[in-house]
Amino acid sequence: MNDLVRQHTALSDSDLEWLHLLVSEWQLLSDLSFADLVLWVPTLDGTRYVSVAQMRPNTGPTSYQDDMVGHLVPRGRRPLLDAALDEGRIVREGDPEWREEVPVRVESIPVRREGRVLGVIARNTNLLTVRTPSRLELTYLQSASDLAQMIAAGTFPFPGEQVDMDSSPRAGDGLVRLDAEGIVQYASPNALSAYHRLGLAADLVGQHLGQITAELAPSRGPVDEALVTLASGYAPREFEVEGNGGVIQLRAIPLKPKGTRIGSLVLLRDVTELRRRERELITKDATIREIHHRVKNNLQTVAALLRLQARRMDSDRGREALNEAVRRVGSIAIVHETLSQNLDERVEFDEIADRVIAMVAEISPGKVTCRRNGRFGILDAEVATPLSMVLTEVLQNALEHAFAQGEQGTVEVSAVCGEARADARLLITVKDDGRGLPEGFDPQRAGNLGLQIVRTLVEGELGGTFDMLPGTERGTKVVLDIPVQPQK
């Protein structure tokens, strides 16, 4: 719609925003009218109309088999459009049109904003299945007529009340028509069923909807008065009511076809099962986070026990082996701590990487500087856990073997995540400026436990590649290339 309006018309951005607001609401008008809607806007030179939006009803057969958006019609070919645009009134005159042997009644509704007519809605009703209307259909049609008059007067849609039609109740979900005092004049079968879910044992017709809704909802003190007002339809609002184990979502639409409120439409939907499933998901999310929290606590306990055991070791090699185990367990605990704070099984790995770097750097305080460049991005838990161990082993190997005791140096971790690469892979480089690799060293065959862990996790669990190479000038470079899920 943006492209068509800007290409063919002289409407301003604020006018276009009004049309967007109208289009976000007009599914309701289409359903209540049992009719197709096409929005026509005059072109810049005023000689033609361009159709910028179209809506088909959910409650009846369509009048258009083809998509009308983008069609251009010369002024004069459709007199009803001309009359509605020039006179600023709803035009219903004329005989039905015949389209592919289907009679179609056409009406034109001017779209007004701040006293100006921006365009015209052509309302097209398929008359092939016309029969004696029921009470529900009569209520729908009267409500549609009221909304059409409000559109022509510029009082509908309501400014600042953007509605998400995917989640908002629709006419078919349940409809209640109120008079100016908030008394129910008509309630559709679905609306009555929804109120029975809340515990209503009587009929809705003749009841004051606000008062009966407040009685069915749990007592909340002063909030009851606000609930009475909301359910009475005095203002355009969307809200939920819960009672008797049921939950209904309501949307109130004041009807002011001639400037004075004559009543209201209340659309409602029974969302009991939807809210129950949402609560189950919230409970499951909380349970998963609690599990991660407990796993983190257990891992920290294991790390503390290993640390105590290391202090009692007489052998330096045994003490160092236990300290390495403490760091390995600690790297996994960091991932679970991060997962315990998230709503899903994905983590921002940059924070984990920084904590792993800080943890490993403690083995050489004040001697070797460790830093990170680039972004790891958001990773799934099944990638983050082994990757944290891999990063721990690689950094630990660099700090232990690249530098002599007391020697100063730098270890740099670089990462390029999938969103910065053409493919969905994560490229990690760990470079140091230390003494370099020994003569004849083969990283694929080295028997060091840390490198064995790295090879097993990278190639077996992460499905990536691992290599150790001499640095450009000096030192060593470790390259990890790991497939990851594309970020959304």
Express each pLDDT in 363-414 by its tens digit: 665 578 888 998 888 888 888 889 998 998 888 888 888 887 778 888 999 9
**Mean pLDDT of all residues in 230-249:** 91
**Chain mean pLDDT for the chain:** 88
pLDDT exceeds 90 at position 287? no
**Count of residues in the chain:** 488
Token code pair at residue 377: 């991005």
Pairing status of strand 409-416 against strand 368-375: parallel
Asked if residue 448 lies in contact with residue 407, where contact means CB atoms within 8 angstroms, the answer is no
Residue 118, phi then psi, degrees to nearest 5: -85, -30
Please name the residues in contact with 179: beta carbons below 8 A apart, sequence gap of 6 or more: 185, 262, 263
Given this model, what pLDDT does residue 420 score? 47
pLDDT exceeds 70 at position 486? no
**Mean pLDDT of all residues in 444-452:** 75
> Locate tokens 């492209």: which residue?
3
Given this model, what pLDDT does residue 256 score? 94
Q: List the single range of 45-54, 67-76, 84-93, 325-334 with lowest mean pLDDT.
A: 325-334
**Mean pLDDT of all residues in 293-320:** 88
Given this model, what pLDDT does residue 169 score? 94
Given this model, what pLDDT does residue 303 score? 86
pTM here is 0.67
The confidence band for 488, taking pLDDT boundaries of 50, 70 and 90, is very low
Distance from C-alpha of 15 to C-alpha of 156, rounded to nearest angstrom? 14
> Locate tokens 């009569």: which residue?
138
The confidence band for 84, taking pLDDT boundaries of 50, 70 and 90, is very high
HSE-CB for 417 with a 13 A CA cutoff = 17
CB environment 207-228: b (16+ within 10 A), e (fewer): bbbbbbbbbbbeeeeeebeebb
Residue 185, phi then psi, degrees to nearest 5: -95, -35
Distance from C-alpha of 213 to C-alpha of 156, rounded to nearest angstrom? 26
Q: List the single range of 69-73, 75-79, 308-312 with lowest mean pLDDT.
A: 308-312
Distance from C-alpha of 152 to C-alpha of 150, rounded to nearest angstrom? 5
HSE-CB for 280 with a 13 A CA cutoff = 6
Token code pair at residue 286: 């909380």
Tell me the one-letter amino acid at 354: D
